[in-house]
Amino acid sequence: MPLNIIAVIGGGLALDSVFGWPGQIAAIVWTFAVFIWLYRVGGQEEKRVLILCTVIAGIGEVFLSLVWGLYDYQFHNVPLFVPPGHALLMTLGLVFSRRVSPTAVAAISLLALAWAIYAWVAGFDRFGVVLFGIYAFCILTSGARALYATMFVAALTMELYGTALGNWAWRPVAPWVDLTSANPPFSAGAFYCMLDLLVLGGMKIWEKRSKVVLRDGK
């Protein structure tokens, strides 16, 4: 399963970058094929996570890219493979985070803190520093530290890969807040921390409603 996710993210972005619209369509088909496969083999909880993650990520992409304008995709749209792709990357993070030790979490966080200080002083990625604040808050207040640290690294890796290929590009100055931004911001993984929090909240609401439906059905 991890190999399938890594292949579809890496290969899908390459197809989108090299072959334009035909490549993007191929990436969409490939991504949805893997997504459907994961949905079919997953349990009830995994299915709910996949659905909620895709829906929330889709809304977030529309807001962050098309409304806020933090970054632009190559065709100035939100490719249909992106929302389910976020769900796949989150699934990959859940798998890998089981092997991440507290020492590794501390090392990742301290390195990120050091870079945040440098980025703010040098002034080239102050928006990334603000995002790092979100990551730091999640690390300090949540029990899912291994997941957040894993997603921080996984998201940065994907961002570096996607921007290098030209699939998308971050604006040099973040609109509305007028803060400098690298391409990509070093702490773009903070958005996955927020995504995780929203998915967990959505899961609780879904579970409560399911219990009410079952009770009323009885």
DSSP string, 72-126: EETTSS--TTHHHHHHHHHHHHHHHHTT--HHHHHHHHHHHHHHHHHHHHHTS-H
What's the pLDDT score for residue 210? 66
What's the pLDDT score for residue 216? 59
**CA pair distance 75, 169, nearest whole angstrom:** 11
- Reduced to 3 states, what is the DSSP secondary structure of residue 71? strand
Q: What count of Cα atoms within 13 Å lies in the side-chain half-sphere of residue 135?
A: 33
Tokens coding 149: 């640290």
What's the pLDDT score for residue 204? 81
Which residues does residue 179 pair with via DSSP β-bridges, in sequence order? 174
What's the pLDDT score for residue 212? 55
**CA pair distance 188, 165, nearest whole angstrom:** 17
pLDDT digits (tens, 9 = 90+) for 107-124: 999 999 999 999 999 999
What's the pLDDT score for residue 143? 85
What's the pLDDT score for residue 213? 53
What's the pLDDT score for residue 31? 98
Residues of the chain predicted below pLDDT 50:
214
